[in-house]
Amino acid sequence: MIYFWKIYARVLGLLGTQKSLAWRLSIANIALACALFFEPILFGKIIDELSKIANQTEDRIWESISPLLLLWIGFGLFTIVSSTLIALYSDRLAHSRRHAVMNDYVMHVLHLPMSQLSRTHSGKLMKVMTQGTDALWSLWLSFFREQLAAFVSLVVLMPLAFFINWQLASILMVLCVFFVLLTHSILRKTQKLQQQIENHHTEMATQASDTLSNIALVQSFTRIDAEAKSLSQISQRVLQAQFPILNWWAVVTVMTRCATSISIFCIILLGVWLYSHSLVSVGEIVTFLAFAGLVITRLDQSVSFINRLATEAPRLKDFFDVLDTTPEVKDKPDAIDPGRLVGLVEFKNVSFSYNANISAVNNLSFCLHPGQTLALVGTSGAGKSTALSLLYRAFDRKSGLITIDGHDIEHIKLKALRQNIGVVFQEPFLFNRSIAENLRIGSPDASDEALHEAASCAQALDFIMSQPDGFDTIIGEHGRTLSGGERQRLSLARVFLKNAPILILDEATSALDTPTETSLLKALEAVTQTRTTLVIAHRLSTIRNADVILVMENGKAVESGNFEELMAQSGVFAGMMQQQYGMPNKLNGSTFDRIDNEQLHQ
Ligand SMILES: Nc1ncnc2c1ncn2[C@@H]1O[C@H](COP(=O)(O)OP(=O)(O)OP(=O)(O)O)[C@@H](O)[C@H]1O
Ligand SMILES: [Mg+2]
């Protein structure tokens, strides 16, 4: 039970930023709930008045009843107007808070580092967000519409019922206690199952989103039936866990209905007995029955609220768990914003591992002066992308030191650090937005001329202009309406537009045909001359002019030097060259001079 109330307290706590409206609505609600108690009293009074004046003339009857009827009309109008206003404002409050909380959730998730996000599927994050905010919204609404009034009614009605007639009220009291014990035991029985259901729902959302985002794969590997079957298996698991809960709540419904009917029957029976002993008037019995009706309605509402809270609690727990995740990569309190950096990049004995057993980057050291180019080469999985992702703090190094312009990067504000680094990722991540919007993500204020220039520099202008709407063409999810090479050129163009002093190019030209790559490399040469550039390349021809080449194997740099030096070593790099271009292992100086890009592309 404490678990449920803790979650509920947090749900209400999220109304905090609109405290004053929430308080006003709560007070209006309490006032309305209290006003509703007068209805049965008024009702009883009219009956008593009628029985007193039963033998009087019609005029006399109307004279006595009219003030009570007018009071009832006034009271009815008041409750209609005030409940409409309360409903209107509580709807507005719940809607606006829902959007605000959704916004906070997205902001929070966007600030979580890749080290945490890569463990969670985006389908799950989406499901947790939509269902969590829906649950919040519906609980806020029912708090203002029903729960508060129900709670106040029960707290006020029960003593009032005892005040009117303690014998009859005792029956109601027994009914209340029965309801509380029943729901308490059902909650205990169903709590674990409810969490299981939610886990299955999450599994289903994750799997559905995974399947939908890989439709091409599913179709080409003829996996449609298999994927559908696996989804239906999850559905089966959901239903298997769901049915016992539904059964339990059906039992609750039957038992509460029976208890209610028995209670009303007992009230009438006891009422008749009390009346026959002149211990109660007919009006009092009528008032009491109306009271009992109110209490029972409120008890019903409370049970369905607890049912809803029990269903929503696991969703809300998942939602709060995401909100409570503290980012592993975050600004230190003394972090600085150094403005635009010059680009002196140094790695000193840097190590990193994704898990305790295997080291992804092992004792890596290099120093790169502003304007210089470093190339990382090596086998797939050697740790090249990981090493460079440490520079823009996708992950934080486990040991060693990474500095830019002498500042430890962990002491630079994350935003400032990332503004200084332009990254062309190994996968060209693109939004389902227009080409122009995709290009402007790093520099929203860039002019149209700058946009054209960056696109032209990335050899992208021709294909952009041939799109139906040019720069305004929407390119589909992950840029699906473009070719691989076109996507890659867009991701290069947006980095050119960002104009950061440090560039990371992770296989930036791997999807391009040779002529396009050659002209792009020429354009890149001009761009990289004034920037510190860190390149990862498998096609070794593209790193011919790098100032330093590091050859990585199993997270370690096994060779370093410039192209000529590495070739002269006849080591791993020279071996790679021979494999790729069939060149002699041992080359003399004059052979180097003859190696140019065109030869290497052969
Ligand atoms: N997010 C991650 N979580 C756990 N392990 C990871 C993660 N990303 C990469 N790895 C592992 O770390 C190692 C280094 O990966 P990395 O992507 O840095 O290699 P790479 O040298 O860039 O390879 P490639 O040339 O194929 O791109 C690999 O063994 C990979 O399986
Ligand atoms: Mg890589």
DSSP assignment of 512-563: S-HHHHHHHHHHHHHHHHTSEEEEE-SSGGGGTT-SEEEEEETTEEEEEE-H
How far is residue 476's CA from residue 430's CA, in Å, rounded to a whole number? 9
pLDDT at 602: 43
pLDDT band at 600 (very low <50, low <70, confident <90, very high): very low
Structural element, H or E, at residue 360: none
Domain ranges of the chain: 2-323, 426-499
- List the one residue out of 320, 282, 293 whose CA is nearest residue 37: 293
Mean of pLDDT over the chain: 88
Could you read off the pLDDT of 147-171 as tens digits, one per residue? Answer: 887 888 788 878 888 888 899 999 9
pLDDT at 584: 54
Q: Which of residues 337 and 144 earns the better pLDDT score?
A: 337
Q: Is 354 in the pocket of ligand 1 (CB under 6 A)?
A: yes
Q: Is 491 in the pocket of ligand 1 (CB under 6 A)?
A: no
Q: Is 170 in the pocket of ligand 1 (CB under 6 A)?
A: no
Q: Which atom of ligand 1 is closest in space to residue 114's alpha carbon?
A: 1
Q: Is 555 in the pocket of ligand 1 (CB under 6 A)?
A: no
Q: Which atom of ligand 1 is closest in space to residue 538's alpha carbon?
A: 25
- List the one residue out of 153, 87, 135 whose CA is nearest residue 300: 153
Nearest CA to ligand 1 atom 27: 380
How far is residue 285's CA from residue 164's CA, in Å, rounded to a whole number? 10
596: pLDDT strictly greater than 50: no
Fold of 426-499: Rossmann fold (3.40.50)
pLDDT at 415: 92
What integer is the mean pLDDT of 80-107? 90
pLDDT band at 30 (very low <50, low <70, confident <90, very high): confident
Mutation probe of ligand 1 site: the residue of 117, 352, 385 with most atoms within 8 A of C-beta? 385
Give me ligand 2 centre to Cα 538, in Å.
10
pLDDT band at 583 (very low <50, low <70, confident <90, very high): low
Residue 120, phi-psi category: left (phi > 0), alpha (psi -120 to 50), beta (remainder): beta
What integer is the mean pLDDT of 424-432? 91
Report which listed range, 60-69, 249-258, 276-285, 398-407, is most confident: 398-407
Check if the beta carbon of residue 504 is closer than 8 Å to that of residue 373: no
Q: Is 383 in the pocket of ligand 1 (CB under 6 A)?
A: yes
Q: Is 380 in the pocket of ligand 1 (CB under 6 A)?
A: yes
Q: Is 130 helix (H, G, I), strand (E, B) or coil?
A: helix
Could you read off the pLDDT of 374-388 as tens digits, one per residue? Answer: 999 999 999 999 999
How far is residue 495's CA from residue 4's CA, in Å, rounded to a whole number? 49
Residue 567 Cα to chain centre, angstroms: 51
What integer is the mean pLDDT of 220-243? 93
The label of the residue with tokens 């209670």 reads 263
115: pLDDT strictly greater than 90: no
The region of weakest confidence among 44-58, 181-195, 336-350 is 44-58
Fold of 2-323: ABC transporter transmembrane region fold (1.20.1560)
593: pLDDT strictly greater than 60: no
Give me ligand 2 centre to Cα 168, in Å.
78
Give me 9's structure tokens.
């307290």
pLDDT band at 106 (very low <50, low <70, confident <90, very high): very high
- pLDDT above 90 covers a percentage of the chain that reads 53
114: pLDDT strictly greater than 90: no
Q: Is 299 helix (H, G, I), strand (E, B) or coil?
A: helix
Check if the beta carbon of residue 505 is closer than 8 Å to that of residue 535: yes
8-state DSSP, 434? B
228: pLDDT strictly greater than 60: yes
Burial string for 278-296 (b: 16+ CB within 10 Å, else e) reads: eebbebbbbbbbbbbebbb
Check if the beta carbon of residue 374 is closer than 8 Å to that of residue 533: yes
Report every protein residue that has its C-beta within 5 angstroms of ion ligand 2: 385, 426
